[in-house]
Amino acid sequence: MSKDLQISPPRLPERFLRWFCSPQLIEDVEGDLSELFAERASHGEFKAKIKYFLDVLLLFRPGIIRNFEIKNGLINTSMLRNYLKSSIRNLLKYKSFSSINIFSLTIGLAACMVIFLFIKDEKSFDAYHEKNIYRICEVQSFPGTNTQKVALSMPGMGPTMTDQFPEIEQYTRFWSWGSQVVRMGDRNFIAEKVVGVDSTFFEIFDFELIQGDKSEVINGPLDAVISKEIALRLFDNIDAVGKRFDIDDDEYVVRGVMENVPENSHLQFDIALSVWASGNEVEAFNNRFGSNFLNTYLILNEEADIEALTAKFPDYMVRVMDNPDINDIYTLFLQPLSEVHLASSDMEHDYNNYRKFNGQYLDVFILVGVFILIIASVNFTNLTTARASYRSKEVGVRKTIGAMRNQLFNQFIFESVLLALIALVFAIVLVIVALPFLNNLIDRQLSIFPFLMDIEFIPIALGITLILGIIAGLYPSIYLSSFKPIVVLKGLKNQEKKSIFRSSLIVLQFSLALGMIVCTLIVVEQLFFIKNKDIGFAKDHIVLIEMNQEMQDNFTQMKEELLGQSNILGVTASGQRLGNNFHQWGFKVRKDTGMLNLTPSNVHVDYDYLDVYDIKLKDGRTFSKEFATDDGLAFIINESFAKELGFENPVGQKAGHGWYPNDSLGTIIGVTEDFNFNSLHYKVNTLSMVVHTEWGYSEMSVKINGKNVEAALAEIDNIYSKYVTDYPLTYEFLDDHFEELYKSDQQMGSVITIIAVLSIFIGCMGLFGLASISIQRRIKEIGIRKVMGASLKELMILLSKGFASMIFIAFVIASPITFVFMSGWLENFAYRVDINPFLFLIGGAVALIIALATISFHVIKAVRANPVSALRYE
């Protein structure tokens, strides 16, 4: 037995027991357990330990656990009150340091809040639709054109898929009909977004109906659901069910009134009609394949396996399109609704995707948010430890009176959490004040107010603040609470060595800041490049006007009259707008070996399109009214397409649309240089242009005198109102439309620029504080050196070189990481700048100059001071 006494019970459960066990019971319970343990240990130590552990766990039950609340409550409040008092005294005593600390945490937290709001806003898109909705998308690999992901589908896909696959419950099509003139009595106006949908639409999507029953609002071909806004404009009343209005020559009946479609919906419309309003014959339309011109959404049942379903699509396509090779061209896939808004940036022909955003940027935002928090908390950590000697007496006294180390630790953690909480309050105020400006900059309507009472936001904000306080205060608390009372009270200064820890934190801080500066420079360079790249045509000072029926009818006269105006330099028209991919359809050329069928992008244009847009011809001639065959039988192709066709001399070759009979083809009359009709994210596609006067145009392009925009617009309006009586002029500038293409990128650029500026600012504030401390400490040394004859220059180098070398190390660390990261980002663009190493040098130089300028305030003050004042009292 005596030998076994050597083995003591396991420490961990013993400590646990001591912690939870009621003090009245602890002595004999522990005694009992150790007696039992000693007894059991004689049979086997390991088993005894396990049993001891189990026994302790079984003791953890009411009746034995001590009463926590009362006891802790009593002690804590009085100590907390003391902590609070000494924290506040310290904050007030060293105002400049406190304000640097609070200010940097405030900026960090405010930046994170804005990022949170931004992400929340993006994630709220389409989130209110509850069903399991998917959008049919296609990967198209047409011959003679780039492979592309497309959001469009064919009208037959929805109905036939729902018939053939049991896992698909319902479908609806969404067919955008653009703006239409709506008439009711003597009222008429343009409804911007009119769409055709299936009867299931309002059951599938949870758009809120104020009036009408979800399943019955779109039953007949002339049924309509209108938004509240349209109802008020048409009938002055939202109580509109049963009322009638006209579009074109058809009379529609309002069956439902819906809330205006919210901002955060990728589908935008204000009047929903039935797809059958198009006049299509049901059987034929539901089995129509070949061309993709609408969106189809499906509801899948709960058990549906997306992969298994997708795997059945190739067979399905062969079946419905009756073509064994169809899968060489089409690959269908299903995109969940939750990805439509944020994961469609590589999707083309994605016309019904309002405010589409590149979701990868959200991850970037989270990352920079974390970075700025790190930078802010480094300030706190560094300044607090560097100023440790200011608090050393307090630590000494507290320890002498009987404070335990962990109590002091708690005190300092408490202090940093308190500081973080103060910063949180300031941050909320800052966000409220700054948000209107930011909204302007990034073109959003973010607001923090709905979140201030939000169940989700408050715990997240408090949680982040708490974690921030703890992380920032962790090292200082450990450090400060470690002081030995006898050393600090005797007045011996703690040996303040150069702290490697502190230096590495500064390196970390400046690596992050520097990295972000360089990223900003590269993003700005790329965006500048996009904006100013010669895209092969003149996109500035072009006014786009959508063509309505009256404009179609009077096109020639209008054009002529417009051209007579002094500020109008050119007028042309086309079937599609520049700035996205053009529709693709079949094109054939006669080669020696036979007919070659390809599918380039196509656009039909007015005769003078190339002249107005300044598109340069490489070969051949432009369209001309002189040749009767130029209307429908003459094609101008771009350089890429010419290469694809493979003729030595393409001009003069016989060619035509896919549906032209082989014996009545037209001619290729010209080849243009490649121009970027699509966004610069994509390579130039193969393109064919043609004139078809009888097709009518969808948009008129008016080139105006850039020096006299107001006058030119007045001239347009004047002539427009002469010919168009039905509704007022609406127009858009082509370059605005192009801006829209890079909105995601632009917004990302703005956010990262702001964050980069803030981070270098916070970093410098920290540096400012640190410099003041370290120079203060060397004030006597500087005095002596000065007396001994050191020059100003030597002293300045002496005091700055430490900081300068840290920034140099940061530069070395940050540059390669930034390079890799930014190369990845640039991959998003088919046309991009090369990363210029010079930018890294600029970034480094900027950081170094700002940092040195920051510390120079203290350096110069110290160096120029009279050495006598520093040395007098020694």
Residues in contact with other proteins by CB under 8 A are 1, 5, 8-9, 25, 27-36, 38, 54-55, 57-64
CB closer to other proteins, 34 vs 331: 34
Cα(683)–Cα(678) distance, integer angstroms: 8
**Shortest distance (Å) from residue 32 CB to other proteins:** 4
- CB-wise, 42 or 823, nearer to other proteins? 42
How far apart are CB 62 and other proteins at their closest, in Å? 8
In whole angstroms, how close is the CB of 69 to other proteins at the nearest point? 20
Q: How far is the CB of 12 from other proteins (least distance, A)?
A: 16
Residue 40's nearest CA partner among 14, 10, 61 is: 10
Structure tokens at 131: 């069903």
Q: Are 637 and 671 in contact (CB under 8 A)?
A: yes
Beta bridge partners of 245: 252
CB of 49 to other proteins, least distance (A): 15
To other proteins, the closest distance from the beta carbon of 16 in angstroms equals 13
Identity of the residue, 39 or 236, whose beta carbon is nearer to other proteins in the bound complex: 39
The encoded tokens of residue 491 equal 């007045």
CB of 71 to other proteins, least distance (A): 18
Task: Return all residues near 29 (Cβ < 8 A) that are at least 6 apart.
Answer: 17, 21, 59, 64
CB 33 → other proteins: shortest distance, Å?
A: 6
Q: How far is the CB of 66 from other proteins (least distance, A)?
A: 12
Output the smallest distance, CB 86 to other proteins, in A.
40
Angle at the Cα of 650 from the Cα atoms of 647 and 652, rounded to 5 degrees: 130
**In terms of Cα–Cα distance, which of 89, 101, 808 is closest to 391?**
89
Q: For residue 701, give the DSSP letter.
A: E
| Residue count (the chain) | 874
**Residue 177: closest CA among 350, 298, 297, 294:** 294
| Closer residue to other proteins (CB): 62 or 279 | 62
The residue (of 60 and 627) whose beta carbon lies closer to other proteins is: 60
Looking at beta carbons only, is 31 or 824 nearer to other proteins? 31
- For the four alpha carbons of 453, 457, 459 and 463, in that order, the dihedral sign comes to negative
Nearer to other proteins, 57 or 868 (CB): 57
- Helix, strand, or coil here: 207? coil
Nearer to other proteins, 57 or 441 (CB): 57
Q: How far is CA 838 from CA 45, 184, 782, 852, in A?
A: 68, 64, 37, 21
Q: Which residue has the tokens 């940092």?
A: 851
Please identify, using beta-carbon distances, which residue of 62 and 402 lies nearer to other proteins: 62
Query: 58 vs 500, which CB is nearer to other proteins?
Result: 58
Decide whether 54 or 492 has the Cβ nearer to other proteins: 54
Burial class (CB in 10 A: 0-12, 13-18, 19+), 521: buried
Nearest alpha-carbon partner for 105 in 417, 366, 412, 390: 417
Least distance to other proteins, CB of residue 13, Å: 12
Residue spans of alpha helices (H) in 498-598: 500-532, 549-553, 555-563
Query: First vs last Cα of the chain: how many Å apart?
Result: 69
CA distance 518 to 497: 33
